Amino acid sequence: MLFLFLSFATRVIMIDERKFSVEIEHAEKLEPHILLSIANERLRLSCKNLEQLSDDLDLPIKQIERMMKQIHYHYQIENNQFTHD
């Protein structure tokens, strides 16, 4: 039996308990809450700061910050996460 699990927030596809990485294309078109989930997950697991996240998503830092501001979130350096205002 084939088990397929897709998670866009974590950019992982699991097939029969094997994980495959999925790249996000056109992150600028994502709904801000979806971007928030992806951004915080990547900041927690693989990006040490906002600059690395910007490179990883191929989005300028200012654009990420603008999208987060739309939903009342801002980047906190201390915990390397976007948090609610």
In this prediction, residue 5 carries a pLDDT of: 42
User: Per-residue pLDDT tens for 11-50?
Assistant: 554 445 554 445 677 888 889 999 999 999 999 999 999 9
How far apart CA 13 and CA 15 sit, in angstroms, is 7
Match 């040490």 to its residue by tokens. Answer: 48
The ranges assigned to domains in the chain are: 26-84
Strand-strand pairing, 12-15 and 4-7? antiparallel
User: Which fold is adopted by the domain 26-84?
Assistant: Arc Repressor Mutant, subunit A (1.10.10)
How far apart CA 82 and CA 39 sit, in angstroms, is 8
Determine the Cα angle at 24 with ends 72 and 14, to 5°.
110
In this prediction, residue 2 carries a pLDDT of: 41
Give yes or no for a contact between 53 and 64, defined as CB atoms under 8 angstroms apart: yes
pTM over 0.85: no
User: Per-residue pLDDT tens for 59-73?
Assistant: 999 999 999 999 999
